[in-house]
């Protein structure tokens, strides 16, 4: 069985003191938790402080974004290597807010994925359709384009360590969750794309998370679906109790 991955994307929230306090609460709330792989993605400016708080705990740390170049004149950006040296083990790649608010292209997502792999970070590649695209019946087409572009030129051996997060854009931060059934179908479709690119064995080993208004009330139902291998949690990860409750739901699932 694939190990469930429960990740918290803090987005542009938490000042230094708040970030430390949340990390301390997670440390206390999740001490001794076994089963799911757990990580939080704080803003890069507090990443090293959060990583320090969480050292030696079951909670890993990741960056929300990286640039694909290793260094140079890219004002305001951070490289994969920098994120890693600040304590990140993971990085989100192509989150929908990066794509839709900041104009990140499929090609950038591909370059960032390769850069993350080169630096030894575990990439979490986010894909998902907008409401308009879903209403137009273009969900599969969009997801296919995003997945294929993201993994262009990536070898099977490297792809095996990549996590994909399916996040329908209309479900992010809206309180609307895709039904477990509809989500499962898209996950199966993504896995079939991965199988086509990397072979069945690699595709079966890869984890596909769901993201979009995941919360304690729906976590268990989502995680019970075959092929949903974890959750990428935004809003509900900003509160220690709700994030811990989601991890607990995943731990319960992992034991079944």
- List interacting residues with ligand PGA (CB under 6 A): 9, 167, 172-173, 211-214, 232-236
Output the smallest distance, CB 115 to ligand PGA, in A.
21
Q: How far apart are the first and last CA of the chain?
A: 11
Cβ proximity to ligand PGA: between 172 and 194 the closer is 172
Best CA proximity match to 157, nearest among 227, 190, 111, 206: 206
Cβ proximity to ligand PGA: between 60 and 202 the closer is 60
Cβ(209)–Cβ(172) below 8 Å: no
Output the smallest distance, CB 201 to ligand PGA, in A.
29
Cβ proximity to ligand PGA: between 61 and 202 the closer is 61
For residue 45, what are the CA distances in angstroms to 73, 148, 173, 208?
A: 19, 32, 23, 28
- The first and second tokens of residue 24, run together, are 């301390």
Cβ(40)–Cβ(8) below 8 Å: yes
Q: How far, in Å, CA of 85 to CA of 204, rounded?
A: 31
Q: How far, in Å, CA of 30 to CA of 37, rounded?
A: 11
Output the smallest distance, CB 221 to ligand PGA, in A.
15
Annotated catalytic, 100? no
Cβ proximity to ligand PGA: between 202 and 209 the closer is 209
Output the smallest distance, CB 42 to ligand PGA, in A.
13
Neighbours of 171 (CB within 10 A): 22
Annotated catalytic, 135? no
Q: How far, in Å, CA of 39 to CA of 47, rounded?
A: 12
Kindly state the helix (H) or strand (E) to which residue 214 belongs, with its residue range.
none
Q: How far is CA 93 from the centre of its chain?
A: 8
Cβ proximity to ligand PGA: between 179 and 204 the closer is 179
Cβ(233)–Cβ(243) below 8 Å: yes
CB-based closest residue to ligand PGA: 234
Output the smallest distance, CB 172 to ligand PGA, in A.
4
Cβ proximity to ligand PGA: between 87 and 235 the closer is 235
Output the smallest distance, CB 211 to ligand PGA, in A.
4
Q: Name the catalytic one among 37, 95, 97, 129.
A: 95
* Residue 111 exposure: Cα atoms within 13 Å on the Cβ side: 11
Q: Which residues are catalytic?
A: 95, 167
């Amino acid at each position: 069985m694939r190990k469930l991955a429960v990740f918290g994307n803090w987005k542009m929230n938490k000042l230094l003191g708040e970030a430390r306090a949340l990390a301390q609460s997670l440390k206390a709330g999740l001490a001794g938790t076994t089963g799911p792989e757990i990580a939080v993605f704080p803003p890069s400016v507090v990443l090293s402080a959060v990583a320090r708080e969480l050292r030696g705990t079951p909670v890993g740390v990741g960056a929300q974004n990286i640039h694909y170049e290793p260094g140079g004149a890219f004002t305001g950006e951070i490289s994969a290597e920098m994120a890693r040296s600040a304590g990140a083990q993971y990085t989100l790649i192509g989150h929908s807010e990066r794509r839709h608010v900041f104009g990140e292209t499929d090609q950038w997502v591909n370059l960032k994925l390769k850069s993350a792999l080169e630096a030894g970070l575990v990439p979490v590649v986010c894909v998902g359709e907008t409401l308009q695209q879903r209403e137009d019946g273009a969900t599969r087409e969009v997801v296919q384009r995003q997945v294929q572009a993201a993994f262009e030129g990536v070898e099977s051996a490297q792809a095996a360590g990549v996590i994909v997060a399916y996040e329908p854009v209309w479900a992010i931060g809206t309180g609307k969750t895709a039904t477990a059934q509809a989500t499962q179908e898209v996950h199966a479709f993504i896995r079939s794309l991965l199988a086509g690119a990397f072979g069945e064995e690699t595709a079966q080993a890869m984890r596909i998370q769901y993201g979009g208004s995941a919360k304690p009330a729906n976590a268990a139902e989502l995680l019970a679906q075959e092929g949903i291998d974890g959750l990428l949690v935004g809003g509900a990860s900003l509160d220690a109790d709700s994030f811990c409750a989601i991890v607990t739901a995943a731990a319960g699932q992992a034991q079944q």
